[in-house]
Structure 1
Amino acid sequence: MEEKILNTKKNGMPVMLLCILLYVAAILGIVFGGINLDKGRMIGLALFIPGIVWVALGWIPFCGLKVLKPQEALVLTLFGKYIGTLKGEGFYFVNPFCTGINPAAATKLSQSGDVDNSQNNLLGVLTNANSANAAAVQAAENGKKISLKIMTLSNSRQKINDCLGNPIEIGIAVMWRVVDTAKAVFNVDNYKEYLSLQCDTALRNIVRIYPYDVAPGVDTTGDGIADEGSLRGSSETVAMRIRDEIQSKVETAGIEILEARITYLAYAPEIAAVMLQRQQASAIIDARKMIVDGAVGMVEMALDRLSERGTVQLDEERKAAMVSNLLVVLCGNKDAQPVVNSGSLY
């Protein structure tokens, strides 16, 4: 379905003024026609009948008046046939029998900047029956407008297993907009629901490739080589892959995905406590390794300094005892409490 833009229809104001003038002329024709009919003049009939017909049917052209605000569009059909799309702000006049169509008009997505159709209170209390009919048609058309603004979709958090089988909870925010109104309306049943479903599907497809944290022997790029990709450490890459995956699915619906961002990432509650203990244990091991490396370096430096300067001559047994004591002091969790030997060293 090719989108056709109607650019030559911005003549709503002249048509509206013409219709109002014709209403005034019709009312005057009815008045003067009635006067002439009372006097028996046939010209009164020529004025009275057209005036009555216009007053009864003159509201129909008003149904062809369309007002669009910036970043709005209206897809028009005539007896089931697509005739074009109105885009851009302006006051338009189209065939009064054209109808706007938007299957997703009643669908509201989370945090979505949909077109606000709540301002259809329309002029308070309408006293004229014809004006009431035109207003009802106009209110229905307002609900068919399609927003071309950048909108945000924030679906509920999903529980997904990562590539290691660990259940995680993840949420994303997707920035999107409609770029082809014909595809959005005619290629899918409801483009908003379609987008929401494709976002959930793409999120599952990408998250299953990555581990939550860096894991050995995991290939996340598909090149057969293990890498250090992870959901927590490669969030930019993951978000880009999610965006590309969604875009490939919604291209047929005339939707452009501008950006996708991870808004929430955590282990599922059933394993969160266990994984926290695992992270704490890993941190303790890394800290211990650093402490031991530093202690060994300090002991080596002490022995080398003593040997170079000849301050104290120690045999292998005394060196071992010194190394043991220094390691206990440097690697212990608590402050050392030395015991002073007042006698001979031997």
Structure 2
Amino acid sequence: MKEKNAFHVNGYLGLLVAIAGALLGCWLVYHGYRSRQTGIIIFGAIVLVVVTIFSTSLTIIQPNEAKALTFFGNYIGTIRDSGLFMTVPFTDKQEVSLRVANFNSQILKVNDSKGNPVEIAAVIVYKVVDTAKALFAVDDYEQFVQIQSESAIRHVASEYPYDTFEDEKALTLRSNPTEVSDKLTAELQDRLNVAGVKIIETRLTHLAYATEIASAMLQKQQSAAILSARKIIVEGAVSITEDAIDRLAKEAHLNLTDEQRLQIINNIMVAIISERGTQPVINTGTQQ
């Protein structure tokens, strides 16, 4: 089932012909009745019947709307042009909106790739591009979009962790919303091709840990952040200490013993790593 163009002509011209035919038929019936001529009455009645039949083919198409035509159960085509048209008589004309629509999913509870329950929701922006598939390939294309959207959101959310501090390059739901949305768009488009629907955009609108583990995961995030920060501080302290000892040895020409080097390293490391400010102690020399 694929969309095709239906036969249609200018409806204004057809409307004028129909009005003229109706007037002609009424005049013939009236003239035949007055003149007692049965043949003219029958001909006028036939004209009125033909005009009535062709009047059923008149249809109005609104902007950004299409009408799919079926003739006694057979799909014969779709009219996408807006205006008044005359088409095949006795056709059933089903309206299909071509406007851009959006669907805001409910907040879904899903387990991420690490098994942690998270709450997630997304907005899906779409439009119908094939009216035949939208009407005849699925039962209700709007409901089909909703069900397939929620199914795709669950599947995509289960492929990524909510967050991770172990691998900064890994894709996560929290840190990479654009990549996750692109993945959701691609998967959802594959699911909705059968319904003649094009996905324009998807965006995550809600993302959070489930309430039952939110506090525990917050502590975990805080602990991971503290460990990560400590690691950076220690690496910086080691680099500063090494640089200080090397400069003392080269520029001040100090020959430090191992014990003195350890003492300097200890003092600098404590001063840098300590959360509270260190109090300096001034050495005034050795008492005689």
Alpha-carbon shift at residue 165 of structure 1 (Å):
0.8
Shift of the 70–240 alpha-carbon distance from structure 1 to 2, 3 Å rule, reads same
Deviations 1:175-206 (A, max 9, x none): 32222222221121111111211111122122
Matched, 1:332 2:282: no
Two-structure CA RMSD over aligned residues (Å): 3.4
Q: 2:141 aligns with which of 191, 206, 218?
A: 191
Q: Which residue of 2 aligns with 1:5?
A: 5
Alpha-carbon shift at residue 301 of structure 1 (Å):
2.8
Q: Which residue of 2 aligns with 1:87?
A: 80
Check conservation: 1:163, 1:208, Cα contact below 8 A.
yes
Check conservation: 1:12, 1:65, Cα contact below 8 A.
yes
Aligned-partner SS, 1:10: strand
Matched, 1:232 2:169: no
Alpha-carbon shift at residue 154 of structure 1 (Å):
2.4
Taking structure 1 as the reference length, the TM-score comes to: 0.70
Q: Which residue of 2 aligns with 1:177?
A: 127
Aligned-partner SS, 2:138: coil
The one-letter code sitting in structure 1 at the alignment partner of 2:187 is: E
Q: 2:157 aligns with which of 199, 203, 207?
A: 207
Shift of the 304–250 alpha-carbon distance from structure 1 to 2, 3 Å rule, reads closer
What is the distance in 2 between the residues matched to 1:310 and 1:146? 85
The one-letter code sitting in structure 2 at the alignment partner of 1:98 is: T
Matched, 1:42 2:32: no
Check conservation: 2:8, 2:88, Cα contact below 8 A.
no
Alpha-carbon shift at residue 162 of structure 1 (Å):
0.4
Alpha-carbon shift at residue 61 of structure 1 (Å):
4.2
Deviations 1:212-263 (A, max 9, x none): 124769xxxxxxxxx7232234433332332222222222222233333333
Q: Which residue of 2 aligns with 1:298?
A: 240
Check conservation: 1:214, 1:233, Cα contact below 8 A.
no
Write out aligned runs for 1:1-346 (5 A).
1-6=1-6, 8-25=7-24, 37=34, 41-42=35-36, 50=44, 54=48, 61-101=54-94, 145-214=95-164, 228-310=170-252, 314-342=256-284, 344=286
Aligned-partner SS, 1:303: helix
Check conservation: 1:33, 1:44, Cα contact below 8 A.
no
What is the distance in 2 between the residues matched to 1:246 and 1:312? 69
Aligned-partner SS, 2:8: coil
Q: Identity rate of aligned residues, in percent?
A: 35
Deviations 1:140-198 (A, max 9, x none): xxxxx112233323222222110111111222232322222222211211111112111
What is the distance in 2 between the residues matched to 1:304 and 1:95? 94
Deviations 1:114-164 (A, max 9, x none): xxxxxxxxxxxxxxxxxxxxxxxxxxxxxxx11223332322222211011
Check conservation: 2:24, 2:44, Cα contact below 8 A.
no
What is the distance in 2 between the residues matched to 1:29 and 1:71? 42
What is the distance in 1 between the residues matched to 2:176 and 2:249? 50
Alpha-carbon shift at residue 93 of structure 1 (Å):
1.2
The one-letter code sitting in structure 2 at the alignment partner of 1:320 is: L
What is the distance in 2 between the residues matched to 1:294 and 1:156? 46
Deviations 1:309-336 (A, max 9, x none): 4566654334433332332222222222
Deviations 1:265-321 (A, max 9, x none): 222233233222222222222222222222233333333333334566654334433
The structure richer in strand per residue is 2
Count of aligned residue pairs for this structure pair: 287
Taking structure 2 as the reference length, the TM-score comes to: 0.82
Deviations 1:83-142 (A, max 9, x none): 2222222321134421123xxxxxxxxxxxxxxxxxxxxxxxxxxxxxxxxxxxxxxxxx
Check conservation: 2:26, 2:44, Cα contact below 8 A.
no
What is the distance in 2 between the residues matched to 1:208 and 1:312? 60
